[in-house]
C-alpha cells in the first residue's frame, strides 16, 4: 500500500465507528492530529513528506553553521572579465559568427595591415570637443575602415577580456544566426577592403592589401606545333589548393602548377597556326605576396548528393615553406614562415566551429583564439593535437601520420597563412592614434565603472545575506510549535523564504482553504505547523494571510469526509444486500422503477460519485489552488456528471419516466432505500408513476408517420418500377427507336428517392425534382449532348415520357429538361439532330470546363510517374518511386506546416532511384521543359497520373571542369544581400 493511502487510512480509521452527526471538536482535532506525527529534529535526513511537524530539509541547511560569503550572491567577480597581463583580447560570438572572429584576429596580428588602417582618416573628429570626446555622444563608425580601426584599437588596448564585434557584423549585414563559408567570407571582405582603401590618398594605405596579400600568376598555353606561348596574367590573394588524394602541402602546390595537355576535342586554337592544335597549359607563379594565404579546399561539391561535403583527410605542412622551386623568376627571397592555421571543428560542411591558431609576430609565441577564450600555448610551439581529437571518429578514417620536427599535419585545417621571412625585426611600435586611444580610454572607463558597480552589488548581496543568516538562525530555532499555540504556514512559502535567489513575497494560504474558508484536511500535507511566536514575526515582516490557527480546522469537511469514508467501507456489504433484495418479488405498489443500465453498474457509479465528492471537497466548490474555475469548464464537468448520474437512463427528454419498459425494472422499497443512500439526488419513480404523456403522443404520431411513409414509398415504387431498379433505362449513345423525346432529371434526385423507397421509416419523403442544379444562372443547360453520353452521364438520369408523366404527378418539378431527336429526312437522310430544351448556354459551359481544369490541377496528394530517357528510349526502373506530391506548393509555402496526410514532394527520390543529381536532371512533360523551380505542378500542367520524362546530363570527369560547372549551376548565395557584395 502506498504511504499516502496508509496515512489516509490511519487518519480516518475512527470514522468507521463515529457517525457524522456525532463528530465533535475533539474528533476534529484528533483527525488533524493524526497527521501531526512527531518528528525528531536531527534524526530526519530529509523532509518527511506529509508531516507538518517536520522542519528538516526545507532549505535551512544553507543558513546553518559557517557560511561562505560567495553563497550570498550569484554575481561573478567582475575582475574575471578583466584582461590578463600580456594577453590578447577575445571577441564575442554573436551566435554563429566564429568564422568572422577568426579572421579578425588573424588580420589584427598582421602589424602592417593594422598600422595602415590606423593611418586612415576618420570622422571621429566630428565627435571631438576641444581636446576630448563629447561624453553624451556615442561614437558610431561610418565606414568599414572605421569599424576595423575601432575594433583593432580595442583589441590592442582594451582592459576587457573580450569585446563585442556586433557593430562590425551589423555594418556588413551578416546574419548572426547562420554559419557561413569562412573562405568565401575572407575573399569577399578582402575585395571590399581593397575597394574601400583604393580611394585613400596615402599610398601606404591605398596599396596595403596588394602589398600584403596580392600575388600574380599567368595562365601559359604553349602550342605544340609552332611553340607559340600565350599568357593570361591574373592577380591572386590566396592560392586555392585541391587536397583530395594528397598527403603533403607541397604535393597540393605541385598539382596546382602542373602541366595540362590540351588534346582531342579540347585542342587549343593557335592564332599563329590559325587552326586547332595540341598544346600544353599550366600556371606560372610570377610574384608572391608578403602574406601568402593557402586555402585548403576541404569543402567540395558531391555530385551524388547534390550538396557540399567536408574532406576530413590529413594534410602535412611544415613551419618553413620554400616557394623558390615554384616561382618563375629565381634568385629572390621566397622562404616563408608559418604564422597562422585556421581550423574548422566538425565533420560536416554545414555545421561546426571555427578557431584560429596565430603566432604573435612580436614575441613569436603561439596562441589559440576561440571567440572569447584565448589560450597561450606552452613554449613557442604550435600544438594542433587537441583540435584533431575533437573530430568525430570514423571507421574509414585513416590514422594520423607521424610528423617530424618542424612539421604538422591536420585534417581540420582549412587555411594556412605564411609570412615572408625577413632579416629585419618586426615593427613593435604600432601606436594607436590619439583619437582612437581616447575612444578606448572612454570604453575602459565605462568598464571600470561597471566593475565598481558589480563589486558594490556583490557587497550589498553579502550584507543582505548576512542579515538573512542572522534572521534564519534566530527564527529557525523558534519555528517548532511544541505544546505552545501554533499556526499553519504554507511549506512552499517557507521554502521560498529560505531561498535567497527569489525575493520573499507575502504569505498566501488561500490555496490551502476549503469551500468553507478554513484549512482543508487534505492540504495538511503541504503545510507546516510553526509556533505562534514565529508566525507573528513572519506576518509583521512580510504580511499576507489568512492566518490559520487551531480554530481554522474545518468541522464541515471532517463531517463530510467521515460520511464518505463510512459509505466507502459499507459499499461492499450494501452491494450484497441489494443483490439479495433484487431477487425477491415486489409486492403491490411498493416498488420503484430503476434503469437496468444503472442497476448493472451502480456499485461503480457509487464509488466514482464518492470519489468525485472527495475531489469536489478538495476543489473547494470551484476553487482550486486559490483560483476560480472557468465557467465553460464547470459547465462541461456538470454535463459529464449528468451523463453518469444514477437512474437517469430512464428519463425521457421531458424529464419524466420513459415509455419503454424494456429499459427499466421494478425494485423493492428496501432496495431503493439502500440505493438512495448513495444516490440521494437520483430521480425517483414509484411503481404507480405514469409514463410521460408527451412521449406517448409523439410515439403515436411517429407510428402514424411511419405508416404513412411506408404507404407513400410503396405507391411510388409501384408507379416507377424501372426508375427504382434501373432496368430498361434509355441511353443517349444508343437512342431507343420507339421515342423521339427523353426527359432528364439529376442523378442526385434519383439516389435520394431510392433511399426513401428502400427505408421509408428512416428517411423523409422526396417532394420535388431539383433540376436547377443542371442549369446555369441564366436558365441554360450546362451539358452538351456529347458530354451527356460520356463524362457527364453520371450526373443525369434519363426518363421515358410515360415515367415523366408519373413524376409530374408525384413531385414538384422546378424545371423541365428534355432532349428531342429530329430526323433530317430528305435533306440528309443519314444525319440526325438532337435539340435540348432549354438550350445549351455556351458561356457558362466554357466556364464550367475551365473550373474543372483548375480543380484537376489543384490537389493535395497525387501519384506522378517518372520515366528516364536513355538514347531517346524510356526506361522505368523498378526502384523508381511514385512521387506523392502537391500541385499548389510554391517555394514560399515550403516552410509552412502541413496538415496530417499532406507531404512535401520529395524530388530527391529521383536522385536516389536513377542516381542523377538534381543539377543533372532535365525534366519535361508533353515536350515542355520543367525548368521553373518556383512554379507549382498545376501551373506546369502536371496533373495526377502524369508521366514526367527525365533526361540526365552526363557527369564531367575532369575535376577542374567540374568546379566550373559547379559555379555556374550551383551559385553560392550565402552572402547575397549583405554588405560584402555591396561594392
Residue entry with cell 490541377: 857
**Distance (Å, whole) CA 534 – CA 521:** 23
CB 407 within 8 A of CB 338: no
- For 920, residues 6+ apart whose C-beta sits below 8 A from its C-beta are 303, 952, 953, 955
Pairing of strands 768-769, 812-813: parallel
**Distance (Å, whole) CA 299 – CA 315:** 14
- Given the residues 54, 73, 98, 709, select the one marked as catalytic: 98
- Indicate the helix (H) or strand (E) that contains 844: helix 842-856
> Which residues is 743 bridged to in the sheet?
799, 818
Residue entry with cell 587536397: 243
| 353 annotated active-site | yes
**Distance (Å, whole) CA 189 – CA 106:** 13
| 98 annotated active-site | yes
Complete DSSP assignment for 190-211: HHHHHHHHTT-S-HHHHTHHHH
- Given the residues 27, 307, 353, 516, select the one marked as catalytic: 353
CB 168 within 8 A of CB 148: yes
CB 85 within 8 A of CB 338: no
List Cα–Cα distances, 323 to 125, 253, 254, 412, in angstroms: 45, 9, 11, 23
**795: closest CA among 728, 741, 841, 748?**
748
What grid cell was written down for 667? 425494485
Rounded to a whole number, what is the distance in angstroms from the first to the last CA of the chain? 78
The helix-helix angle for 532-542 and 434-476 (nearest 10°) equals 150
- What's CA 125's distance to the chain center, in Å? 49
What grid cell was written down for 591? 416498488
Q: Exposure pattern of 836-847 as b/e (b: 16+ CB <10 Å)?
A: bebebbeebbee
DSSP state of 952: E
**Distance (Å, whole) CA 145 – CA 171:** 11
- For 819, residues 6+ apart whose C-beta sits below 8 A from its C-beta are 732, 741, 742, 743, 744, 785, 834, 835, 836
**Distance (Å, whole) CA 92 – CA 423:** 37
Q: Which residues are tagged catalytic?
A: 98, 353
Amino acid at each position: 500500500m502506498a504511504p499516502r493511502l496508509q496515512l489516509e487510512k490511519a487518519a480516518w480509521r475512527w470514522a468507521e465507528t463515529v457517525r457524522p452527526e456525532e463528530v465533535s471538536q475533539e474528533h476534529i482535532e484528533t483527525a488533524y492530529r493524526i497527521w501531526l506525527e512527531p518528528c525528531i529534529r536531527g534524526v530526519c535526513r530529509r523532509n518527511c513528506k506529509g508531516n507538518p511537524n517536520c522542519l528538516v530539509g526545507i532549505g535551512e541547511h544553507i543558513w546553518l553553521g559557517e557560511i561562505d560569503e560567495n553563497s550570498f550572491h550569484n554575481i561573478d567577480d567582475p575582475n574575471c572579465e578583466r584582461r590578463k597581463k600580456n594577453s590578447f583580447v577575445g571577441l564575442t560570438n554573436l551566435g554563429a559568427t566564429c568564422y568572422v572572429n577568426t579572421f579578425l584576429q588573424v588580420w589584427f596580428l598582421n602589424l602592417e595591415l593594422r598600422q595602415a588602417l590606423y593611418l586612415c582618416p576618420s570622422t571621429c573628429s566630428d565627435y571631438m570637443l576641444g581636446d576630448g570626446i563629447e561624453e553624451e555622444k556615442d561614437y558610431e563608425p561610418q565606414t568599414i575602415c572605421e569599424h576595423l580601426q575601432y575594433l583593432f584599437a580595442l583589441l590592442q588596448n582594451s582592459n576587457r577580456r573580450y569585446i563585442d564585434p556586433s557593430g562590425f557584423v551589423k555594418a556588413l549585414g551578416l546574419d548572426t544566426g547562420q554559419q557561413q563559408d569562412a573562405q568565401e567570407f575572407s575573399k569577399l571582405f578582402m575585395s571590399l577592403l581593397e575597394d574601400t582603401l583604393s580611394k585613400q590618398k596615402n599610398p601606404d594605405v591605398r596599396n596595403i592589401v596588394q602589398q600584403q596579400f596580392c600575388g600574380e600568376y599567368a595562365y601559359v598555353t604553349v602550342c605544340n606545333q609552332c611553340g607559340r606561348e600565350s599568357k593570361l596574367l591574373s592577380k591572386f590573394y590566396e592560392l586555392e589548393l585541391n587536397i583530395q588524394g594528397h598527403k603533403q602541402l607541397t604535393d597540393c602546390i605541385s598539382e596546382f602548377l602542373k602541366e595540362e595537355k590540351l588534346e582531342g576535342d579540347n585542342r587549343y586554337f593557335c592564332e599563329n597556326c590559325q587552326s586547332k592544335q595540341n598544346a600544353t597549359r599550366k600556371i606560372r607563379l610570377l610574384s608572391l605576396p608578403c602574406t601568402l594565404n593557402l586555402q585548403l579546399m576541404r569543402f567540395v561539391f558531391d555530385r551524388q548528393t547534390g550538396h557540399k561535403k567536408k574532406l576530413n583527410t590529413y594534410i602535412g605542412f611544415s613551419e618553413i615553406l620554400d616557394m623558390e622551386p615554384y616561382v618563375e623568376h629565381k634568385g629572390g627571397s621566397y622562404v616563408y614562415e608559418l604564422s597562422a592555421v585556421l581550423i574548422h571543428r566538425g565533420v560536416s560542411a554545414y555545421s561546426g566551429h571555427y578557431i584560429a591558431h596565430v603566432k604573435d609576430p612580436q614575441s613569436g609565441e603561439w596562441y589559440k583564439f576561440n571567440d572569447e577564450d584565448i589560450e597561450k600555448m606552452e613554449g613557442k610551439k604550435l600544438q594542433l593535437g587537441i583540435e584533431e581529437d575533437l573530430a568525430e571518429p570514423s571507421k574509414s578514417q585513416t590514422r594520423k601520420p607521424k610528423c617530424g620536427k618542424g612539421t604538422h599535419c591536420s585534417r581540420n585545417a582549412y587555411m594556412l597563412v605564411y609570412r615572408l621571412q625577413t632579416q629585419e625585426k618586426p615593427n613593435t611600435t604600432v601606436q594607436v592614434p590619439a583619437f582612437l586611444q581616447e575612444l578606448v580610454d572612454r570604453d575602459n572607463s565605462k568598464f571600470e565603472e561597471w566593475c565598481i558597480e558589480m563589486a558594490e552589488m556583490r557587497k550589498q548581496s553579502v550584507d543582505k545575506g548576512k542579515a538573512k543568516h542572522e534572521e534564519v538562525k534566530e527564527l529557525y530555532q523558534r519555528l517548532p510549535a511544541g505544546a505552545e499555540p501554533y499556526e499553519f504556514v504554507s511549506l512552499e512559502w517557507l521554502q521560498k523564504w529560505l531561498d535567497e535567489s527569489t525575493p520573499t513575497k507575502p504569505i498566501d494560504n488561500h490555496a490551502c482553504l476549503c469551500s468553507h474558508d478554513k484549512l482543508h484536511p487534505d492540504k495538511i500535507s503541504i503545510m507546516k505547523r510553526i509556533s505562534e511566536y514565529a508566525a507573528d514575526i513572519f506576518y509583521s515582516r512580510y504580511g499576507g494571510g489568512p492566518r490559520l490557527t487551531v480554530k481554522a480546522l474545518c468541522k464541515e469537511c471532517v463531517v463530510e469526509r467521515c460520511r464518505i469514508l463510512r459509505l466507502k467501507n459499507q459499499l461492499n456489504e450494501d452491494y450484497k444486500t441489494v443483490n439479495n433484495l433484487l431477487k425477491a418479488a415486489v409486492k403491490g405498489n411498493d416498488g420503484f422503477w430503476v434503469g437496468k443500465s444503472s442497476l448493472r453498474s451502480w456499485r461503480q457509479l457509487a464509488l466514482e460519485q464518492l470519489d468525485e465528492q472527495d475531489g469536489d471537497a478538495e476543489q473547494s466548490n470551484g476553487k482550486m489552488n486559490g483560483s476560480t474555475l472557468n465557467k465553460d469548464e464547470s459547465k462541461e464537468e456538470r454535463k459529464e456528471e449528468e451523463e453518469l448520474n444514477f437512474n437517469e437512463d430512464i428519463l425521457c427528454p421531458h424529464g419524466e419516466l420513459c415509455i419503454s419498459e424494456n429499459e427499466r425494472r421494478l425494485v423493492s422499497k428496501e432496495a431503493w432505500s439502500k440505493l438512495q443512500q448513495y444516490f440521494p439526488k437520483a430521480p425517483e419513480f414509484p411503481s404507480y408513476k405514469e409514463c410521460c404523456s408527451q412521449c406517448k403522443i409523439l410515439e403515436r404520431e411517429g407510428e402514424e408517420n411511419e405508416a404513412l411513409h411506408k404507404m407513400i414509398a410503396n405507391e411510388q415504387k409501384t408507379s416507377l418500377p424501372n426508375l427504382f431498379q434501373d432496368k430498361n433505362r434509355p441511353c443517349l449513345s444508343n437512342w431507343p427507336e420507339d421515342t423521339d423525346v427523353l426527359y432528364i432529371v439529376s442523378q442526385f434526385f434519383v439516389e435520394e428517392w431510392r433511399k426513401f423507397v428502400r427505408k421509408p421509416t428512416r428517411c423523409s419523403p422526396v417532394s420535388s425534382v431539383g433540376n436547377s442544379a443542371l442549369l446555369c444562372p441564366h436558365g441554360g443547360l450546362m451539358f452538351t449532348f456529347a458530354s451527356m453520353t460520356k463524362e457527364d452521364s453520371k450526373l443525369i438520369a434519363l426518363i421515358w415520357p410515360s415515367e415523366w408523366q408519373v413524376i409530374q404527378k408525384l413531385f414538384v418539378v422546378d424545371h423541365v429538361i428534355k432532349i428531342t431527336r429530329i430526323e433530317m429526312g430528305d435533306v440528309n437522310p443519314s444525319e440526325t439532330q438532337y435539340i435540348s430544351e432549354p438550350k445549351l448556354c455556351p458561356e457558362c459551359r466554357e466556364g464550367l470546363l475551365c473550373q474543372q481544369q483548375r480543380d484537376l490541377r489543384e490537389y493535395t496528394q497525387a501519384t506522378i510517374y517518372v520515366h528516364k530517357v536513355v538514347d531517346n528510349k524510356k526506361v522505368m526502373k523498378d526502384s523508381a518511386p511514385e512521387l506523392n506530391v502537391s500541385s499548389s506548393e510554391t517555394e514560399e509555402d515550403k516552410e509552412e506546416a502541413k496538415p496530417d496526410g499532406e507531404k512535401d514532394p520529395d524530388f530527391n527520390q529521383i536522385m536516389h532511384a536513377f542516381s542523377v543529381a538534381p543539377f543533372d536532371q532535365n525534366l519535361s512533360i508533353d515536350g515542355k521543359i520543367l525548368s521553373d523551380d518556383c512554379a507549382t505542378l498545376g501551373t506546369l500542367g502536371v496533373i495526377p497520373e502524369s508521366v514526367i520524362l527525365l533526361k540526365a546530363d552526363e557527369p564531367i570527369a575532369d575535376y577542374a571542369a567540374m568546379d566550373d560547372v559547379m559555379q555556374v549551376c550551383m551559385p553560392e548565395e550565402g552572402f547575397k544581400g549583405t554588405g560584402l557584395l555591396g561594392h
